[in-house]
Amino acid sequence: MNVFTSIGRSARLCLFAAVATIAVPASAQQVPQPVIPQPQTIIPAAPQLAASSWILMDANSGRILAEHNSDERLPPASLTKLMTAYLVERELDRGTINLTDMINISENAWRTGGSKMFIEVGDQVSVDNLLHGIIIVSGNDASVAMAEHLAGGETPFADLMNQHATRLGMDNTNFQNATGLPGDNHYSTAHDMARLSQHIINDYPEHYEIYSERTFSFGGIDQPNRNRLLWRDPSVDGLKTGWTTEAGFCLVSSAKRDDMRLISVVMGTTSDEARAQETQKLLSYGFRFFETMKLYERGAVLATPRVWGGDINELRVGVDEEVFMTLPRNRNEELRARLNLDPDLQAPIAIGDEVGTLEVHLGDDVVGERRLVALENVEEGGLFKRLFDQVQRFFNGLISNFTD
Query: H helices of 183-271, where?
Result: 190-203, 229-232
Helix, strand, or coil (residue 231)? helix
For the chain, the distance separating the N- and C-terminal CA atoms, rounded to the nearest angstrom, is: 15
CB-based burial, 264-297: b 16+ in 10 Å, e otherwise: bbbbbbeeeebbbbbbbbbbebbbebbbbbebbe
Would residue 138 show up in a list of annotated catalytic residues for this protein? yes
Catalytic residue among 106, 138, 143, 264: 138
Would residue 385 show up in a list of annotated catalytic residues for this protein? no
Best CA proximity match to 137, nearest among 221, 205, 246, 202: 221
Would residue 217 show up in a list of annotated catalytic residues for this protein? no
Q: Are 72 and 189 in contact (CB under 8 A)?
A: yes
What is the number of alpha carbons within 13 Å of residue 83 lying toward its C-beta? 33
Strands of the sheet with 53-58, listed across from one edge = 64-68, 53-58, 260-269, 248-257, 236-244
Q: Give how far the C-alpha of residue 32 lies from the chain's centroid of Cα atoms, to the nearest Å.
A: 31
Catalytic residue among 53, 61, 78, 106: 78
Strand segments, DSSP code E, in 258-334 are 260-269, 290-296, 301-303, 307-308, 317-318, 323-328
Catalytic residue among 81, 116, 240, 281: 81
Q: Which residues are annotated as catalytic?
A: 78, 81, 138
